[in-house]
Amino acid sequence: MQQPHGEGRKSSRVFYLRVVPLIALALINLLFLAMLDTLFANKKRALIIDSKAPFLELVDKIAPLQNQLDKLLNSTPNETEYLQKAKEYLDKHAEEILAGDHPWFRIVLEDSNQHVVAEYNNPGKKREYNDASNCLFSRSFEAPMSSINRKATLYYATPKGWPSIESMVFRYWVYAALFMISTALVYLWLYRNVMFPLQRVGGAIERMVEPGAVSLIDAPQHDIEQAFNRLARIQREVYFGLEVERLAGQLHDLPDDMVVLERFLRMAPASVASIYPFDRVEAFEWTSSSSALQRIAQHGDALDAPPAPAADGSIEWVDRGHAVISLRAGGKIAGCLRCRSSQPLAFPETEWRQMADEIQKQCETGLSRAFTRSQALTEERNRFGINLATNMGHDLTNIIATGKWDLDTIQRAQALNIIQLDGERGRFFEEAVEGLRNNLYFLQEMVNIYRSFGYARRPRYEETDLAALTNDLAHLFRLSTSREFELNVNAPQAAPAEVEPRLLRMALFNLLANSSQAIQRGGGAGAIEMRVDAGSDGMVSLSVLDNGPGIRDAGGELLPQEAINRIFQSGYTTKEGSSGGGLGLAWVRSIVEEFHGGRIEAANRPEGGARITLVIPCDREKRE
C-alpha cells in the first residue's frame, strides 16, 4: 500500500531527528574508542620499554638468537652470504625460539634495502599473550624491538603478569565507560531540549504548509516551542484579520446596516473554522423585537438551542474547546458566535480564551468596518482610520514588537545551530518564517496609513520621492485587498517634492479603494493605473485611472463634466439609498488643496472608466 504523503514526511522527520543523531552518537563513540585504544597501545609500548629490568629479562630470553646472528654477521663480510647463512639458521631454529616462554612471536630478516628475505611467525602466541587482562579492545598488539642487528627484527606481544599494564587496562576502561555515559546523557538532554521540540515544531510547520492553515503545538514545554507558538498566534491573527477584511470588503455597497450584519454573520462561521481549530461554528443574530438570538448560519453540525448572550458581551465558557463569543456593535449586542472543537487538543483554557478573544476583536472590528463603509466615503475613511489608530494601534504595535522579538529568537537559534532543518523541512520552515515577516511588515504599514489622520492636526512636510511613494502604496494596496484586478504604476525614475507623505498616502489609498469598488460594481476584468508626471512648471501630477463604469449618478447615468466636480463636495453621494455623507473625496480634496496648495481634477475617460488627478507643487514657495 502506498504511504500517504503526510506520513512519509513524518517518517522522514522522525528518521532525521531520532535515527540520524543516534547514528552520529554511535560513530562518535566508535571514533573515541578507536582513538582511546590507539593511545592505550602507545602507552603500553612505552611502559614496556621504560620498565628497564623486566624488559631486559625479555631480551635475555632471545640472547642466544642475537649472539648467533652477530657471529654470522662478523664472520661473513658479504651481505648475500650472511643473509643465506642467517636464513639457514633461522629455518632450523626459529620455530623452537618462538615457542619459548616469552612474548616474542615474530622474526623478520631483511636486506640493506629493507626487502624481506625471510619471515617467521607464531600467530598462536600473539593471540595467547594478548588477552583481556592486558589489552583494551584490540587483541592485535605487537611492537618491534630495535633491530637485534642490522638485518633482523624481532616482534613481541603483550607480556603477561605485569600489574602496571593490568591497572592501566582498568583505568582506560573507566575512561571509555565515562565517555559513553557522558555522550548518552548529552544525547538524552539534546533530545529532550532540542530534537524533540524541533520535531514537534517540524510537525506543526508541515501542518501549516497549506495557505491559511495555522497549527499550534499542544502543551509547549520548551522555549523553542513557545516561541513558535507565539509566532503562530501572530500568523493566525493576521490570517483571520485578512479574512475578516475580505468579508467586510464584500459588504461595501450594502446600504443598510442590518443587511450588512446578516451577511457578515452568514459568512463568519466558515471563515472562523478555516483559521481556528473549531469544526462546528454557529452564528446568531440578536433581534431586538423578541430580545432573543436567531440562528443565521452554521458550519458543521448544529448544536443545541441558541445561547443566552451575556449582558456585558463577555465570553461564556462551557468547557475547553467550547466558547460563546458575543459580538457588539455600537455598544450593543449584535449577535454571537458559538464555537466547539471535537479535536482532542491539549490546549489549556487560557489558549482557548485567547482564540475567542482574537475572534471577538477581529469580528467586531470587521463589523465596524462594514458598517462604516456603508456610509459616505469621507466619514467612512476618517472613522475607520481613527478607529484603527486608537483601538487597534496599541494592540497591533505590541503584536508586531513581539513578532520581531520572536523572529530574532529563531534567527539567533539558527545562528547557534540550535535549529538545523535540511531539505524540504528547511524550506517549509523558511517559508513559514518569511510569511510571518511579510505579514508583520504589511500590518505595520496598514497601521501607519490609518494613523495618518493625526497628521491633519500637525502636518510635517518632508522631501519625498513621489514615484517611490506611489510604487510602495501600490504594493501595499495589493496586499490589503482580496479583489482581483490589475494594478500598474507608470512613474519616472524620481519625482521629488516637499509634501506631507502620510496624508498624501492616505489620499491616494482612498482613490485606489474607490477605483476598486467601481471596478467591482462594473464587473469584467478590472485594471487600475497610477501615473506620476513631473512637469516643467514645478508641479507634479498624481493620477489614478480605472476601467470601471465611470463616474455616474445614483440612477446609473454618466455624469457630465460640469457635474463631476460636485463629487468633491461634503455630503455628496452617487450611491442610491446610501446612508453615508459623501466625505471621502471631500477629504482627499482637503488634503490636496488645504495642506498642499494644489488642485484635484476628475473626469470620465472616453474609453470607459474614470480618472482622478492630484496636482501638487513641488516646493513650499509655490504651495504658499
Domain of residue 467, CATH code: 3.30.565.10
Residue in the block written with cell 450584519: 261
Average pLDDT, the chain: 78
Residues in contact with 280: Cβ distance below 8 Å, sequence separation at least 6, in sequence order: 273, 298, 299, 300, 301, 303, 339, 340, 341, 342
Residue 190 falls within a domain, yes or no? no
- How would residue 577 be classed by pLDDT, with cut points 50, 70 and 90? very low
> What is residue 76's predicted lDDT score, i.e. its pLDDT?
82
Residue 212 falls within a domain, yes or no? no
Residue 429 falls within a domain, yes or no? yes
- Asked if residue 293 and residue 253 are part of one domain, the reply reads yes
- Asked if residue 278 and residue 387 are part of one domain, the reply reads yes
Digit-coded pLDDT (tens) for 115-124: 899 999 998 9
Is the pLDDT at 612 greater than 90, yes or no?
Answer: yes
Residue with the bigger pLDDT between 95 and 414: it is 95
- Asked if residue 412 and residue 326 are part of one domain, the reply reads yes
Residue 251 falls within a domain, yes or no? yes
pTM score of the predicted model: 0.41
> What is residue 289's predicted lDDT score, i.e. its pLDDT?
46
DSSP state of 558: B
Residue 144 falls within a domain, yes or no? yes
DSSP state of 15: I
Identity of the highest mean pLDDT range in 5-14, 180-189, 258-267, 580-589? 180-189
- Asked if residue 116 and residue 94 are part of one domain, the reply reads yes
Radius of gyration of the CA atoms of the chain, in A = 43
- Asked if residue 473 and residue 426 are part of one domain, the reply reads no
Is the pLDDT at 27 greater than 90, yes or no?
Answer: yes
- Asked if residue 397 and residue 377 are part of one domain, the reply reads yes
Lowest-confidence region among 326-330, 510-514, 601-605: 326-330
Q: Where among 396, 425, 449 does a domain terminate?
A: 449
Residue range 528-539: mean pLDDT, rounded: 88
Digit-coded pLDDT (tens) for 427-461: 667 766 666 666 666 566 556 655 555 555 567 88
Residue 211 falls within a domain, yes or no? no
Reported as type and span, the H/E element at residue 200 is: helix 196-207
**Residues 353/233, Cβ–Cβ less than 8 Å:** no
Reported as type and span, the H/E element at residue 93 is: helix 79-98
- Asked if residue 508 and residue 538 are part of one domain, the reply reads yes
Distance CA 519, CA 546 (A): 7
- Asked if residue 493 and residue 589 are part of one domain, the reply reads yes
Is the pLDDT at 59 greater than 70, yes or no?
Answer: yes
Residue 208 falls within a domain, yes or no? no
Residue range 571-583: mean pLDDT, rounded: 49
> What is residue 319's predicted lDDT score, i.e. its pLDDT?
67
Residue range 145-161: mean pLDDT, rounded: 80
Q: Where among 168, 191, 208 does a domain terminate?
A: 168
Digit-coded pLDDT (tens) for 274-286: 888 888 899 988 7
- Asked if residue 445 and residue 411 are part of one domain, the reply reads yes
Measured between its terminal Cα atoms, the distance across the chain in Å is 79
Q: Where among 424, 449, 474 does a domain terminate?
A: 449
CATH number at residue 426: 3.30.450.40
- Residue 447 grid coordinates: 497601521
At 554 the three-state DSSP class reads coil
Identity of the highest mean pLDDT range in 71-85, 213-227, 282-296, 447-461? 71-85
- Asked if residue 476 and residue 433 are part of one domain, the reply reads no
At 256 the three-state DSSP class reads coil
Please give the distance of CA 335 from its chain centroid, rounded to a whole number.
37
Is the pLDDT at 320 greater than 80, yes or no?
Answer: no
What's the CA angle centered on 518, arms 514 and 524, to 5 degrees?
140
> What is residue 203's predicted lDDT score, i.e. its pLDDT?
67
CA-based nearest residue to 426, from 206, 574, 246? 206
- Residue 140 grid coordinates: 592485535
Is the pLDDT at 326 greater than 70, yes or no?
Answer: yes
Domain span at residue 422 reads 223-449
At 486 the three-state DSSP class reads strand
- Asked if residue 463 and residue 436 are part of one domain, the reply reads no
Percent of the chain surpassing pLDDT 70 = 72
> What is residue 445's predicted lDDT score, i.e. its pLDDT?
59
Burial status of residue 228 (CB atoms within 10 A of its CB: 0-12, 13-18, 19 or more): buried
Residue with the bigger pLDDT between 393 and 161: it is 161
Residue 426 falls within a domain, yes or no? yes
- Asked if residue 73 and residue 42 are part of one domain, the reply reads yes
* Domains identified in the chain, total number: 3
